[in-house]
Amino acid sequence: MADTAARLYLITPVLEDSSFAPQLSEACGTGAVAAILLRLAPADERTLTNQVKALAPAAQEHGAAVIVTTDAKADLATIAARGGADGVHIAGDPSLVRELRERLKAERALGVGAIRTKDDAMTFGEAGVDYLLFGEPRPDGSLPSLESVVERAAWWAEIFETPCVAYAPSLEAIEPLAATNAEFVALGDAVWSHPNGPAAAVKAAAEILERQEASR
């Protein structure tokens, strides 16, 4: 079981260029963000690599790890290495997980999402991923129920060593997800669309996590 407060993992909108860097810097400048998942729009490998080079420092200079993902038929391991990212994230595909784990070795993190079943989750854990993401928006934008994500994260956190990330669709969802002992809570639109800006959202989220930890 986690003996420290869950940490924040932010997920960007799908990015088509490097203009999102100021928002990344503002969010990560709080010092409360453990990792950022850069969702890159499909493009050729060189374009994607250059995007990572332009965006990653905005998060990394504030201590946040940068993980990259894209729906493009591109070599994520090469893009991460050349772009200076700290890891890659893919949708559930056991054969690709094993291939990437072999190529990335221990140099870069490997995360997996779009996990449909508990059996799938265990398969990915055995394949050596560094974290599993539960509850993120589906390709059509719909979300699984918060109750189902709480149940899945609590099950995983209680039994398995591999860290998990539980997606919170709103700031209000952070508390029940953190109570599962998930190592990370993920936020997307709740941060980027916050009326007072990304930094205010991250600070509010961090305060919720600290309160939740203190109440244990």
What percent of the chain shows pLDDT beyond 90? 89
pLDDT tens string 155-205: 999 999 999 999 999 999 999 999 999 999 999 999 999 999 999 999 999
Mean pLDDT of 10-20: 97
User: Which pLDDT belongs to residue 3?
Assistant: 54
Whether pLDDT at 2 is above 80: no
Q: What pTM did the predictor assign?
A: 0.96
Q: 155: Cβ–Cβ under 8 A, 6 or more apart, which residues?
A: 118
pLDDT single digits (tens) 112-140: 999 999 999 999 999 999 999 999 999 89
Q: Would you tell me which CATH number, out of the four given (3.20.20.70, 3.40.50.620, 2.40.160.40, 3.10.20.90), belongs to the domain 7-210?
A: 3.20.20.70
C-alpha to C-alpha distances, 169 to 10, 134, 148, nearest whole angstrom: 11, 12, 13
Q: What is the domain partition of the chain in residue ranges?
A: 7-210
Residues 74 and 24: their CA atoms lie apart, in Å, by 24
Q: Under DSSP, is residue 213 helix (H, G, I), strand (E, B) or coil?
A: helix
Three-state SS annotation for 116-178: CCHHHHHHHHHCCCCEEEECCCCCCCCCCCHHHHHHHHHHHHHHCCCCEEEEECCHHHHHHHH
Helix H or strand E segment including 111: strand 109-113
Distance CA 69, CA 184 (A): 18
